[in-house]
Amino acid sequence: MIPTPFYQIDRTALARNMAIIDRLRAASGARTLLALKCFATWPVFDAMRPHMDGTTSSSLYELRLGREKFGGETHAYSVAWADHEIDEAVGYADKIIFNSISQLERFGGRASGIACGLRLNPRFSTSGFDLADPARKFSRLGEWDAAKIGGVIDRISGFMIHYNCENADFDLFDAQLTRIEHEFGALLHQVEWVSLGGGIHFTGAGYPVDRLAARLKAFAERFAIQIYLEPGEAAITGAATLEVSVLDVLENEKTLAIVDASIEAHMLDLLIYRLPARVAPDAGDFPVMVCGKSCLAGDIFGEFRFPTALKVGDRISILDAAGYTMVKKNWFNGVKMPAIVIRELDGSLTLAREFGYEDYVTSLG
């Protein structure tokens, strides 16, 4: 038995998401790029590669990983490229998207051998968190002035427009895309491709995939462009758990179970956005607050209900542990890093990577 803690990636769940992506690609003509900022665990890229067209990145290292480990189309984006990065980035990329006109003017000449794009900020988004809102006040993410963009339109072949965030509402997506058509249509008619970014939750239960496909196809045909989507969470919906074990049980007005992992170190997004983790089934007569083992007082996964009283050694599966987890894990408190385990199609488990003391040491010097 593989000891906890470990992230367990389920190939069967991945296959379900890939089937939906196949259906969307076929019906819409859109190309899909895995958003490495969300999920970059390359031991399962073999299960994703046949169903996606490539990767999109947010840094030089992500870009290189996409080129070397995934292949296909490789899109390069960064909020700001450094002078010492740009030539290497161009060497890996098929398309490079500049965040600003000033970056385009500075580096566009050095990227003349590949397609260049510009990030367009429509000044609205679906994010409910100011921290993640690309349209927040004083946003640095992209250009929005159509007149200024028009002045450099001859130097780019496409746009990246990232404004969705866990958007499961097709009607909202439709309305906002219509607004983009109205406000930026003159610019869209002058380019060859547009990426609508990620954040469209089309692999969620009940999402109208066929309506999305038809809307994307109509958008592409109206402007005679190639559409790209950049699914992150949508590619890995329900595809991984964080497997943990109970180390101790305490009573302090509530029952507290301490497990061998940490929300601060291993599911950081939940802490950042003040969200509870999820377990299943979350039902029973025994309420428990599940706590991480770091010294951070607020290292708490959440409060759940269990069918029996938890005891030392019991296992708990923390759900939704694929997106923004392994890419953000850290060595806070020197807590052991969870291994990466693959649940194969036949149900067997494969240990893909284990982390030890040497990994901790070498990360610090």
Other C-beta atoms closer than 10 Å to the C-beta of 86 total 20
Place of tokens 């009940």: 206
Q: What is the DSSP string of 36-100?
A: TTT---GGGHHHHGGGS-EEE-SSHHHHHHIIIII-SEEEEEESS--TTTHHHHHHH-SEEEESS
pLDDT in tens, the chain (365 residues): 899 999 999 999 999 999 999 999 999 999 999 999 999 999 999 999 999 999 999 999 999 999 999 999 999 999 999 999 999 999 999 999 999 999 999 999 999 999 999 999 999 999 888 888 898 999 999 999 999 999 999 999 999 999 999 899 999 999 999 999 999 999 999 999 999 999 999 999 999 999 999 999 999 999 999 999 999 999 999 999 999 999 999 999 999 999 999 999 999 999 999 999 999 989 999 999 999 999 999 999 999 999 999 999 999 999 999 999 999 999 999 999 999 999 999 999 999 999 999 999 999 99
- Report the distance separating Cα 243 and Cα 261, nearest Å: 9
- Report the distance separating Cα 127 and Cα 62, nearest Å: 24
| Structure confidence at residue 128 (pLDDT) | 85
Q: Which of 55, 174, 257, 317 is nearest to 63 (CA)?
A: 55
| Structure confidence at residue 151 (pLDDT) | 97
Residue length, the chain?
365
Beta-carbon contacts of residue 1 (< 8 Å; ≥ 6 apart): none
Q: Exposed (0-12), middle (13-18) or buried (19+): which is 85, by Cβ within 10 Å?
A: middle
